[in-house]
A and B are shown apart, each in its own frame.
Chain A
Amino acid sequence: KNEVEQSPQNLTAQEGEFITINCSYSVGISALHWLQQHPGGGIVSLFMLSSGKKKHGRLIATINIQEKHSSLHITASHPRDSAVYICAVRRGNQFYFGTGTSLTVIP
Chain B
Amino acid sequence: DAGVIQSPRHEVTEMGQEVTLRCKPISGHDYLFWYRQTMMRGLELLIYFNNNVPIDDSGMPEDRFSAKMPNASFSTLKIQPSEPRDSAVYFCASSRDRNTEAFFGQGTRLTVV
Contacts and interface: CB of A to CB of B under 8 A. Distances in A.
A33 interface: yes
Q: Which applies to chain A's interface (DSSP): helix, strand, loop or mixed?
A: strand
A47 interface: yes
A93 B101 contact: no
B97 to A, nearest CB: 11
Nearest to A95: B45
Contacts of A100: 42-43
Contacts of B58: 93-94
Given A88-B43, A93-B55, A93-B56, A43 B104 contact: yes
B58 to A, nearest CB: 8
Contacts of A47: 101
A94 B101 contact: no
B101 A43 contact: no
B112 interface: no
Interface residue tally of chain A, by bracket? 20 to 34
Interface in B3-52: 42-45
A54 to B, nearest CB: 10
Q: Which applies to chain B's interface (DSSP): helix, strand, loop or mixed?
A: strand
Contacts of A90: 98
Interface in B46-75: 55-56, 58
A42 B102 contact: no
A42 B106 CA distance: 5
Interface in B90-113: 91, 93, 98-104, 106-107, 109
A31 B99 contact: yes
B108 to A, nearest CB: 10
A86 B93 CA distance: 15
B57 to A, nearest CB: 10
Nearest to B33: A95
A45 B55 CA distance: 21
B89 interface: yes
Interface of B: 42-45, 55-56, 58, 89, 91, 93, 98-104, 106-107, 109
24 contacts: A33-B101, A33-B102, A35-B43, A41-B89, A41-B107, A41-B109, A42-B104, A42-B106, A43-B91, A43-B93, A43-B104, A44-B104, A45-B93, A45-B103, A45-B104, A48-B101, A86-B43, A88-B43, A93-B55, A93-B58, A94-B56, A97-B43, A97-B45, A98-B42
